[in-house]
């Protein structure tokens, strides 16, 4: 059984359609069918059932898929390790990060990283689906809110922060020293849309506090939210250190009693080789925060 055949097999597992898999592999459908038959003949069991126009994995196909993924991943790890050895001062790191963090928090880190490692290519990929980006190998590491432990991943917690209510200086609450959860129910808010990690964290906290908040406008950018606050459209609930980074003199952060807690972590697949560029970036990230 050859690596190329396993790659054909895995593509068919993913697509479950011979024509689509063959198209993505850049080969003909008869060639793909023939290669799958070769594997089945070698193993002595069918890997797929052809039911009309549908293709489904057999129990043997499910079993082989798990091992094939490990084999292909280990081969990729070997290639990356050797490339890393040959290119001591270069490399690439792909990072999935929450759009809001990329919007305001990580720019200075990227500038310093490039100054020290100018030959290292960094690809920052904003996403609200960091977990699947990491698991599907689209990125090397993910940086975002802490998630439930997953046996496929390594988790490195590196930062915890509270949330505050942000209002413009002319707001009725601007002189308050602290805001209670109940106070938030009567305040028009501008927030991230539902489905964004930061918004879901706030909504979950509201359920714990048995309160309901009301939004008048929603946007996916921290910068635009602050602009809306500055113009008096509404207040917003964001990480407490955000104003220190954005430096908006016309906006005031008011601590929230029993504040939501935001825990950040780095995640990466525990079967994946991380090159020097990725490891260096992770260390810089921990120190930076």
**Phi, psi for residue 140 in degrees, rounded to 5:** -85, -40
Other beta carbons less than 10 A from residue 96's beta carbon: 25
d(CA 178, CA 189): 17
Strands 91-97 and 153-168: unpaired
pLDDT (tens place) for every residue of the chain, 289 residues total: 888 999 999 999 999 999 899 999 999 999 999 999 999 999 999 999 988 778 999 999 999 999 998 898 888 878 877 776 666 556 789 999 988 777 667 888 899 888 888 888 899 999 988 999 999 989 999 998 888 889 999 999 998 989 999 999 999 999 999 999 999 999 999 999 998 888 999 999 999 999 999 999 999 888 899 999 999 999 999 998 886 766 778 899 999 999 999 899 999 999 888 888 888 899 988 888 7
What the chain holds in terms of domains, given with CATH numbers, is 3-85 (1.10.10.10), 88-158+264-288 (3.40.190.10), 159-261 (3.40.190.290)
CA 231 to chain centroid: 31
Q: Is there a contact between 68 and 10 (Cβ–Cβ < 8 Å)?
A: yes
Q: Is there a contact between 133 and 269 (Cβ–Cβ < 8 Å)?
A: no
Residue 129's SS3 state is: coil
Backbone conformation region of residue 115, classed left if phi is above 0, alpha if psi is from -120 to 50, else beta? alpha
106-122: per-residue pLDDT in tens?
Answer: 888 899 888 888 888 89
């Amino acid at each position: 059984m050859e690596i190329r055949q396993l790659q054909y097999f895995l593509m068919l597992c993913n697509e479950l359609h011979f024509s689509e898999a063959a198209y993505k592999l850049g080969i003909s459908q008869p060639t793909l069918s023939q290669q799958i038959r070769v594997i089945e003949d070698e193993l002595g069991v069918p890997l797929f059932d052809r039911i009309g126009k549908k293709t489904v994995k057999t129990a043997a196909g499910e079993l082989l898929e798990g091992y094939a993924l490990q084999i292909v991943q280990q081969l990729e790890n070997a290639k990356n390790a050797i490339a890393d050895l040959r290119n001591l001062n270069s490399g690439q790191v792909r990072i999935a990060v929450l759009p809001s963090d990329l919007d305001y928090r990580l720019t200075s880190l990227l500038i310093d990283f490039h100054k020290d490692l100018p030959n290292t290519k960094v690809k920052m990929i904003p996403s609200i689906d960091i977990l699947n980006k990491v698991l599907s190998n689209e990125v090397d590491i993910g940086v975002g809110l802490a998630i439930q432990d997953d046996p496929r991943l390594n988790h490195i917690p590196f930062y915890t922060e509270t949330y505050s209510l942000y209002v413009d200086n002319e707001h009725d609450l601007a002189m308050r020293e602290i805001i209670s959860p109940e106070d938030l129910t009567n305040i028009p808010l501008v927030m991230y849309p539902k489905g964004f990690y930061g918004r879901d964290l706030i909504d979950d906290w509201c359920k714990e506090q048995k309160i309901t908040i009301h939004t008048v406008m929603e946007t996916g950018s921290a910068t635009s939210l602050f602009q809306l606050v500055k113009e008096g459209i509404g207040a917003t609930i964001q990480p407490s250190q955000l104003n220190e980074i954005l430096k908006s003199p016309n906006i005031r952060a008011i601590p929230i009693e029993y504040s939501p807690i935001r825990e950040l972590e780095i995640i990466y697949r525990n079967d994946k080789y991380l090159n020097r560029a990725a490891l260096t970036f992770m260390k810089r990230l921990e120190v930076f925060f």
